[in-house]
């Protein structure tokens, strides 16, 4: 593969806690019956990125761009078809193996839908205590005590501790999910669209809570979202995914000021409150080749070479990379 894809130099952190190297991943298409042959749907191709110690990486892209898949791979829930996921420089152990289970206490996840992520038949307090019990780190009584503290830290209302999820609001539930995720004091937290299902008024509170926790516990974070405004508030670095490819990465501020890739520019212009306008090209009738740039059909700056060859991810400025032959910077 292209040499410069293998170097996640763009996010040059002091040192990286989590690193993805040249990840390719796909899922088998649903088979029709037992004897049918399975097809493969490609989800990620040649994605490399790194999350710096104590920093937050924002992962953005439209739906279906592979954000959540990348999050699952970084969490080690699945193995990539090719490429490596490194945690503190060590390869991610096989899912559900012994070493993998040990790693669970170091990395945690906050889910998009707090209604779904909690067991409807258990009280919030019990559920927040569960990570401790799962990893055998405390007996039941201490676990509940620690859960009480953890829930207090995320400002979960104290009189609701014994309630079940059904009678609580989305914001309260997301606080409970966060309390459960941070009770083990993880080093690495993945938030998969943590505020997408919440009211705008609650979103801000949860974002503030997350950045406070990140500072308190000295966590590194990956923040997956399709909402650029949300990401800009909380992230240090940004990685933009488009159809399973990394199209741009770099420090948030710089990307927001001057996006390098036309697709990033499109995303920014779509964010509510944006003053930028993006003139989308009329859909080109000549199909891009499979080998060509995936954004070809929508790109206003397309040239003939974009159709035949995919632009590699290359440096466009210090600490910034973009996969475009004609970057805007």
Partner 1 sequence: MSDKPMTFIRRFLAAAPASVVASVAILAVLAISAVLAGQICGHAPEAVNLMNRLKPPVPFSGSAFNHLLGTDELGRDILSRLLHGMRISFLIALAGTVAGASIGLGLGFMAAHFRGLVDDMVLTAIDFNAALPFIIMALAMLAFFGSQIYIIIAIMAVYGWDRYARLARNLSLSALTEGYAGALLALGASPGRIYIRHILPNIAGVLIVNMTLNFPGTILLETSLSFLGVGVQPPLTSLGVLLGFGRDYLTTAWWIAVAPGTVIVMVTLSITVLGDFIIGSLDGTYSFSKSDRL
The least CB distance from residue 282 to partner 1, in Å, is 37
Whose tokens are 């009211």? That residue is: 199
Q: Which of 43, 57, 177, 252 binds partner 1 (CB under 8 A)?
A: 177
Provide the strand spans (E) within the chain.
16-28, 40-52, 56-60, 82-87, 90-91, 107-110, 188-192, 220-225, 237-242, 245-251, 314-317, 320-322
Rounded alpha-carbon distances, angstroms, from residue 222 to 108, 174, 190, 194 = 11, 17, 5, 11
Residue 34 near partner 1 by CB under 8 A: yes
Of the two residues 109 and 241, which places its CB atom closer to partner 1 in the complex? 109
Of the two residues 166 and 318, which places its CB atom closer to partner 1 in the complex? 166
Of the two residues 133 and 329, which places its CB atom closer to partner 1 in the complex? 133
Provide the strand spans (E) within 232-292.
237-242, 245-251
113-134: burial string, b at 16+ Cβ within 10 Å, e else: bbbebbeeeebbbbbbbebbbe
Of the two residues 191 and 293, which places its CB atom closer to partner 1 in the complex? 191
Q: How far apart are CA 29 and CA 39, in angstroms?
A: 5
Stretches 108-116, 141-149, 220-228, 296-304: which one binds partner 1 (CB under 8 A)?
108-116
x/- letters, 115..144, toward partner 1 (CB under 8 A): -xxxxxxx-------xx--xx---------
The least CB distance from residue 108 to partner 1, in Å, is 7
Pick left, alpha or beta for residue 9 (phi over 0 → left; psi -120 to 50 → alpha; otherwise beta): alpha
Of the two residues 119 and 308, which places its CB atom closer to partner 1 in the complex? 119
Stretches 9-17, 105-113, 145-153, 156-164: which one binds partner 1 (CB under 8 A)?
105-113
Whose tokens are 């009329």? That residue is: 282
Tokens matching residue 293:
């740039």
The least CB distance from residue 247 to partner 1, in Å, is 28
Stretches 113-121, 242-250, 280-288, 310-318: which one binds partner 1 (CB under 8 A)?
113-121
Q: Scan residues 50-89 and list those touching partner 1 (CB under 8 A).
A: 75, 77
Total residues found in the chain within this entry: 329
Q: Scan residues 137-176 and list those touching partner 1 (CB under 8 A).
A: 166
Q: How far apart are CA 261 and CA 293, in angstroms?
A: 12
Classify burial at 94, counting beta carbons within 10 Å of its beta carbon; exposed 0-12, middle 13-18, buried 19 or more: exposed
Of the two residues 144 and 260, which places its CB atom closer to partner 1 in the complex? 144
Stretches 57-65, 104-112, 196-204, 318-326: which one binds partner 1 (CB under 8 A)?
104-112
The contact set with partner 1 (CB under 8 A) reads 34, 75, 77, 100-101, 104-105, 108-109, 111, 113, 116-122, 130-131, 134-135, 166, 177, 180
């Amino acid at each position: 593969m292209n040499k410069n894809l293998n170097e996640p130099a763009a996010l040059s952190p002091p040192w990286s806690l989590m690193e993805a190297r040249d990840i390719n991943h796909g899922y088998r298409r649903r088979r029709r019956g037992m004897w049918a042959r399975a097809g493969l749907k490609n989800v990620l191709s040649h994605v490399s990125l790194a999350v710096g110690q104590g920093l937050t990486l924002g992962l953005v892209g439209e739906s279906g761009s592979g954000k959540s898949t990348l999050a699952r791979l970084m969490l080690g829930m699945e193995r990539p078809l090719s490429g490596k996921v490194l945690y503190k420089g060590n390869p991610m152990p096989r899912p559900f193996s012994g070493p993998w289970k040990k790693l669970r206490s170091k990395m945690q996840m906050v889910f998009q839908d707090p209604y779904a992520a909690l067991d409807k038949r258990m009280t919030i307090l019990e559920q927040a205590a569960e990570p401790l019990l799962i990893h055998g780190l405390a007996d039941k009584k201490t676990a509940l005590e620690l859960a009480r503290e953890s829930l207090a830290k995320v400002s979960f209302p104290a009189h609701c501790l014994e309630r079940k999820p059904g009678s609580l609001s989305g914001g309260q539930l997301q606080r409970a999910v966060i309390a459960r995720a941070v009770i083990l004091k993880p080093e690495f937290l993945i938030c998969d669209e943590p505020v997408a299902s919440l009211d705008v008024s609650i979103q801000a509170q949860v974002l503030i809570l997350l950045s406070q926790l990140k500072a308190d516990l000295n966590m590194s974070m990956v923040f997956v979202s399709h909402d650029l405004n949300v990401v800009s508030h909380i992230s240090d670095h940004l990685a933009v995914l488009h159809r399973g490819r990394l199209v741009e990465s770099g420090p948030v501020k710089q990307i927001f000021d001057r996006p390098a890739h036309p697709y990033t520019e499109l995303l920014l212009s779509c964010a509510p409150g944006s003053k930028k306008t993006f003139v989308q090209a009329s859909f080109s009738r000549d199909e891009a080749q499979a080998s060509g740039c995936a954004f070809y059909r929508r790109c206003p700056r397309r040239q003939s070479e974009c159709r035949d060859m995919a632009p590699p991810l290359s440096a466009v400025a210090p600490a910034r990379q973009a996969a475009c032959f004609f970057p805007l910077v």
